[in-house]
A and B are shown apart, each in its own frame.
Chain A
Amino acid sequence: MKKQLLELRVNGRTHEIAIEPNRLLLDALRVDLQLTGSKRGCDDSSCGACTVLVDGTPMLSCTMLAASCEGEEITTIEGISEHGALAAIQKAYGDWGGAQCGFCTPGFMMTVKHLLATNPNPSEADIREALSSNLCRCTGYSQMYEAIKAAIEAEQKAGHQPQSGEIV
């Protein structure tokens, strides 16, 4: 298949890449742009490790064509740290044991980012439902709830009230 030029906006920057039209977004990110934070865990959109935000919506990049994202704003795990430091949720996952082997963690980060952007004060049931799009095999999820609660608390203490729709 002949390669074509494609412009992808990833983490606030525009990248021009030459790829086959059938190239998956995950491969474009991992191989062509060397953004290896998004992981491939399953190939068939069952595990969520490849979750990225496309125009703010969590999408599974392993079953999406890169070409279909042209002109849209893609955010990967590499794009969510703040001012060069870990975002509150990233730090909380580390502190509370929300990540063990860490392979699923980037996908969870993106899912949680979206959850907190749309629902700044989620109940535990909200959190459980949101996280059910991603699989983790190490933690049993429990410590993630603590991490998410701690991150919300930290954000609130820092005086930053995320508005609905804002990517925190």
Chain B
Amino acid sequence: MKTTESRRNGTKALSSYARPDGRGARPTRPMTDFSIIGKPIAMVDAAGKTSGAGKYTDDLSLPGMLVGKILHSPHPHARIERIDTSKAEQLDGVIAVAIGADAPNTYGILPVGHDEHALAVDKVRYVGDNVACVAAEDEATAESALELIDVDYELLPAYFDPEDSMKTERDLIHDNKAHNLEKDYHHVFGDPEKGFAEADQIAEARYIANEVTHAAMEPHSTLASFELDSHTGKLGRLTVWSSTQVPYYLQHKLSLVLEMPMSQIRVIKPLVGGGFGGKSEVIPLEIIAAIAARKAKRPVKITYTREEVFWAHRGRPRTIIDLKTGVKNDGRITAVKARVVQDGGGYCSYGVVTILYSGALLGALYDIPNIQYDGYRVLTNKPACGAMRGHGTVNVRFAFESQLDELAARINLDRAEIRRRNLLQPPCITVNGLRVQSYGLPECIDKVVERSDWQNRKGKLPRGRGLGIACSHYVSGAANSIIRSDMPHSTVNIKIDRDGGVVVYTGASEIGQGSDTMTAQIAAEVLGCSLARVKVIAADTDLTPIDIGSYSSRVTFMAGNATLRAAQEVKKQIASAAAKKMVCSPEELVFRNDLVSRNGGAGTGHVGTGALARPVPAGFLGTNSSAHASVSGRVEGQILRGSLQQKRKDQGPKDSMSFEEAVVAAIDFHGALTGTGSYAPPPEARGGKHKGAGVGPSPAYSYSAQVAEVTVDEDTGEVTVHKVWAAHDCGRALNPVSVEGQIIGSVWMGMGQALTEEMIWKDGLLMNPGLLEYRSPSSVESPEVEPIIVESIDAEGPFGAKECSEGSLAATIPAIANAIYDAVGIRLHEAPFTPERVLAALRAKKNAKTLNLTEGVDPTAPARFREHGGAVWFKGKGAERVGRAPSPANGD
């Protein structure tokens, strides 16, 4: 059991970081000589969150601020013939009504997918598409004005099923996308046909993972305000506060749509209430707020209602996976063939990247010699799908790990063992061009097998109770940016002034995952100063250098490396000046605990209390012990030059200096103390040469193995997850509290997708656009998750760290599916595993007739859209209902 030293800001030490009841006691790790890295610390912004003082975008207001409300399309696919806003404009309190013609330029998060208008120009492509925006003095007026906008639509045939949509030749969703096909890729690596010929067992099946969404607790919100140009009196610079994971991309897209230079646009990210990918691209309201502010000449804030958040979506697409896997009798995989169809919704969004990840991340987990991948990203008349935690890999991983489990049963091999038989031998480059270096998967499997007592309990649990195992992995940031350029992916500036305060400027976005804390920790560790000295200024495009944002789990690896380099640069400057004062070489100096001391001198073994200008404790200065007495002229953390010179004269060269003294010496010597660091992934990590090779490569991959224990009620079909053991290789845990939080959160979100979460669509209408109907697990439905940190110490990660926020999610769904098989012998091929699907599979197994619980009446299908409780601004009758073939039976 590991004890921890005192914590920052005078917060009390946790006497032991192990859980109070002894569960989950931390395994002993090699002792490291870090003072801040690896310690469980509270996030640097925790107090603002627990006290309610922290400000999120919707908490902000400006003098003269207007409320914006958006009119959404009631039709899934229609041409706009006419929009008449005159009645709305005349309503008292309405300042402006914006429509598509006010900003007709297209944009999209991917350079290959500029297919969106902030407000529809000619066509609407899903129920909920954005048509007009009212900026009014208050919310009630804005909502009344929406009712006064007249829009004439010419209805077009709409497509809701991707496989139907692919067959169409007319009434295309986008004219330049034949067969409504956004993109298709066909990759062959190795010789799959030969691989299948060599296999002793081949399994082939169709898997379906239904659509899920992020449902971050904070609804999207944007506040946009123009300044008056002091020379012309016209609208000048634009400032946007927005709930975004990617301030730089938002600045870029605003510039495209508003036709303003990027330098005239400032994007500030306040606290963000969760993203999970939903805020990793530019959501229409972020641009609409700026368009409305320009038209109204006043600041405009738009905050989505929860229902609008569901329509804005950008979540994980419904995915149909036809998967074929071949294995030898010894368990070795010989070949994999996957055909993946994704129901992408009405716009490209991140779609091209999603469909590529689905194929590319078949590699880099196991050693698979032959892979065939056919991926189809299809457009349908539903809200666009985008990036969501575990982007692209989750649904395919569910299929793959389920099928591997099935094959293990067929060849009578332990289900953990078949995974061990297919391990990579890193360092290596996989058949599809992914470079793998650190690889903690073997240890992850060992740990979960050991902790769950797998060997003694597997197959011995009573009927209805089962254990399942599965593995997953994820990138630590994409090696290739979506905007192809030689730009570094992260840049960090550090400034230290005479007060001894360290200010880190980073574009990385704190969204709750601990980005700011990680940045402060790395800077403090390198500079050997206390965490309380470090102030992180993040995600403000005027102040912070470009960083491409918080997505694909890139921040720790990339922004962390940039912080490390910037801090090292500053440290070098301090060292050279301090060395002069101490009459030694800079290499002899050790920076630790707010002291700069000569090698072997004082200063180790003591952890800073975090107070600025802390008097150096007696005894730490060795022979010169009188030197620690407080220096006259010291004012609140500053050391005035005159007094310092006097002191030096008195004392001659020393063995040790306080951090502030060293900083002052460096500023005197160099004139200023700043450092810059940037990170770009190395060329050898950037993947192969084939079309689409840019997506999938990462400088490092995280690894995860999980065992889930479930019970299945065979009468009701209800699945209960009791416990999940989750081992995750995060390279090095910079802050174990954060890492464990990310692992538990990922597993929990995966469990939601496995059991309850599903967006239910009827003819392009979302039947469950609310947090009561979209079933995110509550505390009573959430299992105990035992996080197990595995540290493989990556050679290129900052202090060896890699990804930890997404990779665990993908293993949870198949671990639960495999546990259900262990419990009651059914293989579920469609997620989530709702009671209906479990019961259907149980009956199918007994060759019993499928129960039709609703007797042909579909309780989720209202005659008209409005009847399910759609909000007032969805006007009109809604989509006409069409008959639909019954869903195929689930399971085998």
Verify A36–B771 contact, CB threshold 8 A: no
Q: Which of B352-409 contact A (CB under 8 A)?
A: none
* Segment at the B interface, from A53-61, A66-74, A94-102, A159-167: A94-102
Q: Which of A121-160 contact B (CB under 8 A)?
A: 127-129, 131-132, 134-144, 146, 149-150, 153-154
0/1 string, A27-50, CB within 8 A of B gives 1: 000100001111111111011010
For the complex, would chain B's binding face be called helix, strand, loop or mixed by DSSP majority? Answer: loop
Do A42 and B43 contact each other (CB < 8 Å), given the known contacts A47-B771, A96-B737?
no
The interface residues of chain A lying within 8 Å CB-to-CB of B87 are none
CB distance from B23 to the nearest CB of A (A): 10
A100 to B784, CA, bound (A): 18
Q: Does B611 contact A (CB under 8 A)?
A: no
Verify A81–B51 contact, CB threshold 8 A: yes
Q: Which of B764-779 contact A (CB under 8 A)?
A: 770-772, 776, 778-779
Residue of A nearest to B511 (CB): A101
Verify B305–A101 contact, CB threshold 8 A: no
Verify B780–A132 contact, CB threshold 8 A: yes
A36 to B271, CA, bound (A): 13
The interface residues of chain A lying within 8 Å CB-to-CB of B20 are 146, 149-150, 153
A68 to B511, CA, bound (A): 36
The interface residues of chain A lying within 8 Å CB-to-CB of B779 are 127-129, 131-132, 134, 141, 144
Verify A100–B51 contact, CB threshold 8 A: no
Q: Does A168 contact B (CB under 8 A)?
A: no
A39 to B274, CA, bound (A): 13
By the criterion of a CB under 8 Å from any partner CB, how many residues of chain A are at the interface?
A: 58
Verify A97–B738 contact, CB threshold 8 A: yes
B306 touches which of A44, A86, A95 (Cβ 8 Å): A44
Q: Which of A8-38 contact B (CB under 8 A)?
A: 20, 30, 35-38
A43 to B305, CA, bound (A): 7
The interface residues of chain A lying within 8 Å CB-to-CB of B795 are none
Verify A135–B776 contact, CB threshold 8 A: yes
By the criterion of a CB under 8 Å from any partner CB, how many residues of chain B are at the interface?
A: 62
0/1 string, B282-309, CB within 8 A of A gives 1: 0000000000000000000001011100
Q: Does B42 contact A (CB under 8 A)?
A: yes
Verify A93–B306 contact, CB threshold 8 A: no
Q: Does B11 contact A (CB under 8 A)?
A: yes
Verify B19–A146 contact, CB threshold 8 A: yes
Q: Which of B41-55 contact A (CB under 8 A)?
A: 42-43, 45-55
The interface residues of chain B lying within 8 Å CB-to-CB of A116 are none
Verify A102–B741 contact, CB threshold 8 A: no
Do A97 and B307 contact each other (CB < 8 Å), given the known contacts A41-B218, A153-B20?
no
A100 touches which of B58, B745, B778 (Cβ 8 Å): B745
Residue of A nearest to B139 (CB): A27
Q: Which of A71-99 contact B (CB under 8 A)?
A: 76-78, 81, 86, 90-91, 93-97, 99
Verify A101–B744 contact, CB threshold 8 A: no
Q: Does B273 contact A (CB under 8 A)?
A: yes
Verify A43–B738 contact, CB threshold 8 A: no
A101 touches which of B12, B19, B218, B748 (Cβ 8 Å): B218
A149 to B16, CA, bound (A): 14
Q: Which of A36, A41, A138, A146 has the most CB of B within 10 A?
A: A138
Do A135 and B217 contact each other (CB < 8 Å), given the known contacts A39-B56, A81-B51, A109-B50?
yes
B49 touches which of A1, A99, A142 (Cβ 8 Å): A99
Verify B19–A99 contact, CB threshold 8 A: no
A41 touches which of B50, B55, B219, B778 (Cβ 8 Å): B219
Q: Which of A44, A49, A150 has the most CB of B within 10 A?
A: A44
CB distance from B292 to the nearest CB of A (A): 19
Q: Does A106 contact B (CB under 8 A)?
A: yes
Verify B217–A136 contact, CB threshold 8 A: yes
The interface residues of chain A lying within 8 Å CB-to-CB of B770 are 42, 44, 46
A149 to B14, CA, bound (A): 13
Q: Does B229 contact A (CB under 8 A)?
A: no
The interface residues of chain B lying within 8 Å CB-to-CB of A93 are 46, 50
Q: Does B740 contact A (CB under 8 A)?
A: yes
Q: Does B482 contact A (CB under 8 A)?
A: no
A137 to B50, CA, bound (A): 16
Verify B772–A103 contact, CB threshold 8 A: no
The interface residues of chain A lying within 8 Å CB-to-CB of B749 are 137, 140
0/1 string, B742-766, CB within 8 A of A gives 1: 0011011100000000000000000
Q: Which of B43, B55, B274, B275 has the most CB of A within 10 A?
A: B274
The interface residues of chain B lying within 8 Å CB-to-CB of A38 are 52
The interface residues of chain B lying within 8 Å CB-to-CB of A142 are 744, 748, 782, 784-785
The interface residues of chain B lying within 8 Å CB-to-CB of A103 are 56, 216-218, 271, 273-274, 512
Verify A43–B306 contact, CB threshold 8 A: yes
The interface residues of chain A lying within 8 Å CB-to-CB of B748 are 139-142
The interface residues of chain B lying within 8 Å CB-to-CB of A102 are 45-46, 48-50, 54, 271, 273, 512
Q: Does B226 contact A (CB under 8 A)?
A: no
The interface residues of chain B lying within 8 Å CB-to-CB of A154 are 12
Do A100 and B513 contact each other (CB < 8 Å), given the known contacts A132-B780, A137-B276?
yes
Residue of A nearest to B724 (CB): A140
Verify A94–B274 contact, CB threshold 8 A: no
Verify B51–A97 contact, CB threshold 8 A: no
Verify B306–A37 contact, CB threshold 8 A: no
A47 to B140, CA, bound (A): 23
A30 to B770, CA, bound (A): 22
Residue of A nearest to B67 (CB): A31
Do A91 and B11 contact each other (CB < 8 Å), given the known contacts A44-B772, A46-B770?
yes
A104 to B42, CA, bound (A): 17
Verify B46–A41 contact, CB threshold 8 A: no
The interface residues of chain A lying within 8 Å CB-to-CB of B49 are 94, 99, 101-102, 105
The interface residues of chain B lying within 8 Å CB-to-CB of A135 are 217, 771, 776, 778
Q: Does B208 contact A (CB under 8 A)?
A: no
Q: Does B498 contact A (CB under 8 A)?
A: no
Verify A37–B305 contact, CB threshold 8 A: no
A46 to B272, CA, bound (A): 20
CB distance from B762 to the nearest CB of A (A): 21
Verify B48–A140 contact, CB threshold 8 A: no
Q: Which of B50, B51, B303, B784 has the most CB of A within 10 A?
A: B50
0/1 string, B57-99, CB within 8 A of A gives 1: 0110000000000000000000000000000000000000000
B55 touches which of A36, A46, A90, A132 (Cβ 8 Å): A36
Verify A41–B43 contact, CB threshold 8 A: no
Q: Does B224 contact A (CB under 8 A)?
A: no
The interface residues of chain B lying within 8 Å CB-to-CB of A30 are 59
Residue of A nearest to B748 (CB): A140
The interface residues of chain A lying within 8 Å CB-to-CB of B19 are 146
Q: Does B215 contact A (CB under 8 A)?
A: yes
A161 to B684, CA, bound (A): 61
A38 to B217, CA, bound (A): 13
Known: A97-B43, A137-B215, A139-B745. 8 other contacts (CB 8 A): A46-B771, A91-B50, A100-B514, A106-B52, A137-B217, A142-B782, A143-B737, A143-B744
Can you list 20 contacts pairing A with B, beta carbon distance less than 8 Å? Answer: A36-B58, A37-B52, A39-B273, A43-B307, A46-B771, A86-B47, A91-B11, A94-B43, A95-B14, A101-B274, A102-B48, A102-B49, A105-B52, A109-B52, A137-B215, A137-B217, A139-B745, A143-B740, A143-B744, A150-B20
Report which B residues bind A (CB closer than 8 A).
Answer: 7, 11-12, 14, 19-20, 42-43, 45-56, 58-59, 140, 214-219, 271-276, 303, 305-307, 511-514, 737-738, 740-741, 744-745, 747-749, 770-772, 776, 778-780, 782, 784-785
Closest 6 CB pairs of A and B: A37-B52, A102-B49, A101-B512, A103-B273, A140-B748, A94-B46
